[in-house]
Amino acid sequence: MVFDLPDGGSVEALKNVSLDLNKGELLSILGPSGCGKTTLLNIVAGFLAPSSGQVTLNEKQVTGPGAERGMVFQQGALFEWMNVRKNIAFGPAMKGVSADQSRQLVDELLETVGLHGFADKNVYELSGGMQQRVALARCLANDPDVILMDEPLGALDALTREKMQGLILKLWKETGKTIILITHSVEEALLLGERLLVMAPRPGHIHKEYNLPFALRAIETGLREVKKCEDYTKQREEILSMIWEMEEDIMGRKE
C-alpha cells in the first residue's frame, strides 16, 4: 500500500504482506505505531484499495465494504439517537428482516453479550464497556463471515478490558466466527490470538508469526490462570523485547 503525498512524494505503508486466514480462526495482529496494522485491516474491510495485490474472501475478490465483513472500531461508532435495540436491529432492518424476527434476534444477542434488560436504554446512558458490547452485538446481527476488530478495547479501563477479552473469547468459541483483532497490547494479542502476527514498520511487513495455545486455554481455565503460566510469561517477555527494539529503532535511540 503506497499513499501519495500532497508534495508529490509517497509513503509505502505496506510491502509484501501475504497471509491466509482459515475459517473460524482468531488472528491477532500486533506491532508498534506506524507499522500498518490498521491500514491492513482497512484493506481487508474494503475501505482502502491496495496499490497492488488483492484480498479474496470465499474465492471472491474484495473490492469494497460488504456485509460478509463486520467491523468493530475502538469507539463503538453507535447511532446515539437510537436506543440499544434499534442499534442492534439496524443491519437486519436494512436486509428486510421482519420486525418479529428482528426482535427475537436482538433479544438473543443481548443475552449473548450480557445486556439483557438494556434494550430500551439510550446509548449515552451506557458505560464504555457496555457500548462495546452493543457494538459487538450489532456486528453479530449481520452474521458476517469475518469480524474485524480495530483496537476494540483500547479505550477501556483495565478491569472492563479484561472482562471484554473474556467476552470476545466466549463469542469466538460459541459462534465459530473468523476474527481479526488489531491491538497495541502484547498481553491482549497473546491472550486472544490463536495465531499472532507481529508487524514491523518502514514499510509495514510481517516480522514474525506465532501459533499460540493461550486463547483455547483461557476458554477452559480463565484469563487469570493463563497469566500465571510460565510459558505465557516467557512468550510475553520475548515479544515485549521485540516491540521495544522496534520502537527504539523508530525513535532513533538504539545503541
pLDDT for res 255: 43
Q: Give how far Cα 67 sits from Cα of 80, 113, 168, 212, Å.
A: 22, 21, 20, 29
In sequence order, the β-bridge partners of residue 71 are 148
Cα(34)–Cα(149) distance, integer angstroms: 17
pLDDT for res 7: 87
pLDDT for res 234: 96
The one-letter amino acid at 108:
E
The answer to whether 126 and 84 are in contact (CB under 8 A) is yes
Per-residue pLDDT of 195-241, as tens digits, reads 999 999 989 999 999 999 999 999 999 999 999 999 999 999 999 99
The answer to whether 186 and 237 are in contact (CB under 8 A) is no
Taking Cα atoms as reference points, which of 176, 161, 207, 156 lies closest to residue 29? 207
Average pLDDT score over residue span 8-29: 94
Average pLDDT over the chain, rounded to whole? 91
- Please write down the HEC assignment for all residues of the chain: CEEECCCCCEEECECCCCCCCCCCCEEEEECCCCCCHHHHHHHHHCCCCCCCCCCEECCEECCCCCCCEEEECCCCCCCCCCEHHHHHHHHHHHCCCCHHHHHHHHHHHHHHCCCCCCCCCEHHHCCHHHHHHHHHHHHHHCCCCEEEEECCCCCCCHHHHHHHHHHHHHHHHHHCCEEEEEECCHHHHHHHCCEEEEEECCCEEEEEEEECCHHHHHHHHCHHHHHCCHHHHHHHHHHHHHHHHHHHHHHCCCC
Q: Give how far Cα 91 sits from Cα of 72, 80, 140, 141, 150, Å.
A: 14, 15, 10, 7, 20
Rounded to the nearest 5 degrees, what angle is found at the Cα of 229, between the Cα atoms of 213 and 112? 55
pLDDT for res 254: 46
- pLDDT category at 38 given cuts 50, 70, 90 is very high
pLDDT for res 253: 52
pLDDT for res 95: 86
pTM for the whole structure: 0.90
Average pLDDT score over residue span 133-153: 92
**pLDDT exceeds cutoff 90 at 54:** yes
Q: Higher model confidence: residue 255 or residue 225?
A: 225
pLDDT for res 76: 62
Per-residue pLDDT of 62-105, as tens digits, reads 999 998 999 998 776 788 889 999 999 998 988 888 989 999 99
Would you list the domain boundaries of the chain?
16-68+146-255, 76-143
Residue 242: all three cell numbers together:
521485540
Taking Cα atoms as reference points, which of 160, 209, 184 lies closest to residue 38? 184
Pick the CATH number of 16-68+146-255 from 1.10.730.10, 3.40.50.1580, 3.40.50.300, 3.90.280.10: 3.40.50.300
* % of the chain beyond a pLDDT of 70: 98
**pLDDT exceeds cutoff 50 at 112:** yes
